[in-house]
Amino acid sequence: MTQFDNILRQGLMDANLEQYGRVLRSVEAKEPDFSPRYLRERMRLLSAPQEWERRQTRPAPRRWKIPRGIAVAIAVLLLITAVAAAAVSLWVSYFGGLDQRQQEIVSDMELSDEKTGKTETTKTAAESLLPPPVEHDGVTITPLRLLGAKNKLYLILEIRAPEGTVFSSEDRYDLFDGMRVPEERRTEMLGSSGGFTVLEAGTREPNILVGVAETTTSFDIGGCSYLVRALYRYTPDGEQETVFGGWDPEAGPTDSWEFPIPEDLNRDQLLEPNVEGLSMTEGGKTTTLLSMSVSPLGVWWKYRLDGEDPWPRVRVALRMRDGSEVEAALGQLTMGDMGSGCTASVDFAKPVDLSQAEAVLWGDVEIPLEQGSEK
């Protein structure tokens, strides 16, 4: 057991160091936004790991002797905790730092196999809402984490390319992706935008790429499917290469990796204030709200417009209980439909604690947020 303890401690310290280094690289000169307790404990470990080990290996009094079965269970629990911490670090890397409360929000909202305690070999479709891996033409794409609500989706993907493929952090990668909407829901003009951020390129194995696919849509993503069509590589020298995926000049994309999204995608995290009829007039046009949804990830609203400009840009922010404001990102996706109104959406740079939000600031209109309106 002593040998196992030593291996476990060394493995945890190595994972700890690698995780911390990856976060520092991801945020460049910025300081990671960890909680004070997290920083204190990490600095204690990094500054004197041998002292920590010496304290742990002192002989214990007889009354504290742990049976072998319990010790093994504790070791397994520590390993699961280490895996969970590594998963959180991926989100920390992507968002550029998350405080303790933001990490709790992410942990509560995300879909992952750790929440069910099932592995890929033991879970069933009913036991995991996380889409299963898809293999096609020698390429396997595995969703590791899913974070989403209403019209916003983040997917951490592990892409395993055929043997011989070498991914490099020096190159830039673009994922050709999209959303498939059920036929019965295609009654409006639908739109989406997205991006792909690489977190690890050839780190685990030369042919493995890990990144976050981000998608914003004008519609409810729940019950749709996320599609990957191709992956493109751009080298620092300006060379372009198709890593996988095909294209036919007449038929379009020829390859597809499809991942079903759960129907009820964190709807319990939504606040839906009563906004019908609220309007704002500016520059000779009047925008009238029909509905609105607020999630920790962003704000979506439907509206009618009287005026010439069908795509009005509106400042959106949340006023918090402490008087501060959390302003949404400048990018705004707007879409028109076939008669029922237009839609618009904005994102937050990091997940927001809606329990501390008092109102939505939509242009010069203040919309109270009642926590009792949560669906």
Instruction: Kindly indicate the confidence band of residue 291, based on its pLDDT and cuts at 50, 70 and 90.
Output: very high
The rounded mean pLDDT for the chain is: 78
The pLDDT value recorded for residue 123 is 42
Q: Which residue has the higher pLDDT, 50 or 194?
A: 194
Least confident range of 29-38, 122-131, 252-261: 29-38
pLDDT at 32: 46
- What's the distance, CA 340 to chain centroid? 31
Out of 122-136, 279-293, 336-350, the most confident range is 279-293
Task: Please determine, for residue 66, whether its predicted confidence score (pLDDT) is greater than 60.
Answer: no
Please report the pLDDT score of residue 69 as a whole number: 52
In this model, does residue 62 exceed pLDDT 50? no
Alpha-carbon distance of 103 to 38, in angstroms, equals 12
Write out the E strands in the chain.
134-136, 139-149, 152-160, 172-180, 192-201, 208-217, 225-234, 240-244, 247-248, 252-253, 257-260, 279-282, 285-295, 298-306, 316-320, 325-327, 333-336, 342-347, 357-362, 365-368
Any alpha helices (H) in the chain, and if so which ranges? 2-27, 36-47, 49-56, 68-95, 100-109
Task: State pLDDT tens for residues 220-271.
Answer: 999 999 999 999 999 999 899 999 999 888 888 899 999 999 988 888 899 9
Which range is least confidently modeled, 6-15, 82-91, 258-267, 359-368? 6-15
- What value does the mean pLDDT take over residues 119-123? 45
The reported pLDDT for the residue numbered 128 is 60
- Going by pLDDT thresholds of 50, 70 and 90, the confidence category of residue 339 is low
What are the structure tokens assigned to 58, written together?
């002192």
Q: How far is it, in rounded angstroms, from Cα 347 to Cα 330?
A: 8
Provide, rounded to the nearest whole percent, the portion of the chain with pLDDT above 70: 69
Q: How confident is the model at residue 335 (pLDDT cuts 50, 70, 90)?
A: confident
Whether the CB-CB separation of 353 and 105 falls below 8 Å is answered with: yes
Q: What angle do CA 291, 293, 299 make, to 5 degrees?
A: 115
**Half-sphere exposure for 353 (CA within 13 Å, toward CB):** 13
Q: Is the CB of residue 278 less than 8 Å from the CB of residue 367? A: yes
Q: What pLDDT band is residue 281 in, cutting at 50, 70 and 90?
A: confident
Alpha-carbon gap, residue 15 to 8, rounded angstroms? 11
Mean of pLDDT values over 39-56: 41
Q: Give residue-wise pLDDT tens across range 170-211.
A: 999 999 999 999 988 887 778 899 999 999 999 999 999 999
The whole-model pTM stands at: 0.72
Residue 199, number of CB atoms within 10 A of its CB: 20
The pLDDT of residue 95 = 92
* Pairwise pLDDT comparison (121 vs 204), residue with the higher score: 204
C-alpha angle 25/210/254, rounded to 5°? Answer: 140
Q: Return the percentage of the chain with pLDDT > 90, whole number.
A: 52
